[in-house]
Amino acid sequence: MKSVQSQFSKLKIAMLVLVVSSFMYHSNISAQKLEITPFYGYQLNGKVIGYSGDLNIRDASNYGVMLDIAVQNGMQVELFYSRSDTRADFVEFRGPTYKLTNVSVNYFQLGFLRTAKKIDNISLYGVGSLGATLFSPSGQDYNETPKDYYFQDWWLFSVTLGGGAKVWISKKVGLRFEGRLLMPITWAGGGFMIGTGGSGLYLGGGSAILQASLTAGIIIALGK
């Protein structure tokens, strides 16, 4: 199961790279305006509901970069990456809470940004994307688990929806403020961790983990 999941995740990354490369090197797009936006913010990481308890992923800061390429007036293709370094706790039903391990939450997304309205030097926009999310535990536990666990990376399909504002200081530099809903989804059953006794965390098909982020970044515009 793990090898199949690993091969599937590698395929998703390869497809994402190919799509982005085609946009970067297409003759009609390469000459268009390009925006690079490193950002920093705060992420609400939510929880995973399991059969024996909940996996609580603690809220934490996040950071990353957005790459936006203009394809037509008011429309941009966006490549998005974000990372949140946090901790996972296991909240046992009718029991105590255990510190488990440090974990990073990584988003790899490709989508579209649409400018809805411009007011002087301010642009209001909406954004949506599809891609993958990686939950990557460090493997170093806090020795508080109720039983022995092993940890492994967990790749999920994910979608994001959001909106915000770009405030242009000049033609080449601006500020970007954004709120975004993050939704990793598992189509088949899967688990972030599995207990040796068979009672670890498990997700059923079609479940979603609701997360959200508030970020601010500096826009560096290149090209036209």
> Residue 120 pLDDT > 90, yes or no?
yes
21 φ/ψ angles, rounded to the nearest 5 degrees: -60, -40
Nearest to 69 by CA among 99, 26, 106: 26
| Closest by CA position to 193, among listed 94, 101, 108, 82 | 101
Within 10 angstroms of residue 159's Cβ, the number of other Cβ atoms is 17
Under a CB-based contact definition with an 8 Å cutoff, are residues 209 and 184 in contact? yes
Range of the domain at 119: 2-222
For tokens 């999920």, name the residue. Answer: 156
Which of 38, 12, 17, 28 is closest to 173 using CA atoms?
Answer: 38
Residue 90 CA, distance from chain mean position: 22
pLDDT tens digits, 29-62: 555 689 999 999 999 999 877 777 788 899 999 9
Is residue 1 over pLDDT 60? no
User: Residue 16's pLDDT is what?
Assistant: 55
Residues 155-159 have a mean pLDDT of 91
Residue 218 identity: I
**Which residues fall within 8 angstroms of residue 120, CB to CB, at 6 or more apart?**
none
CATH number at residue 217: 2.40.160.20
The pTM of this model reads 0.80
Q: What is the pLDDT of residues 191-216, one digit of tens each?
A: 555 444 444 555 555 556 899 999 99
Q: What is the DSSP secondary structure assignment for residue 190, as one 8-state letter? A: B
- How many other C-beta atoms are found inside a 10 Å radius of the C-beta of residue 78? 19
The pLDDT, as a whole number, for residue 205 is 53
For 158-172, the pLDDT digits (tens) are 999 999 999 999 999
- pLDDT, averaged across the chain: 81
| Of the listed ranges 14-18, 67-71, 94-98, the one predicted with least confidence | 14-18
Q: What is the percent of the chain where pLDDT is above 70?
A: 69
Of 121-125, 140-144, 156-160, 209-213, the poorest mean pLDDT is in 140-144
Burial of 143: CB neighbours in 10 Å, binned 0-12, 13-18, 19+: exposed
Does residue 182 register a pLDDT over 90? yes
Which amino acid belongs to residue 114? R
Range in 12-21, 78-87, 114-123, 135-144 with the lowest mean pLDDT: 12-21
Q: Count of domains in the chain?
A: 1
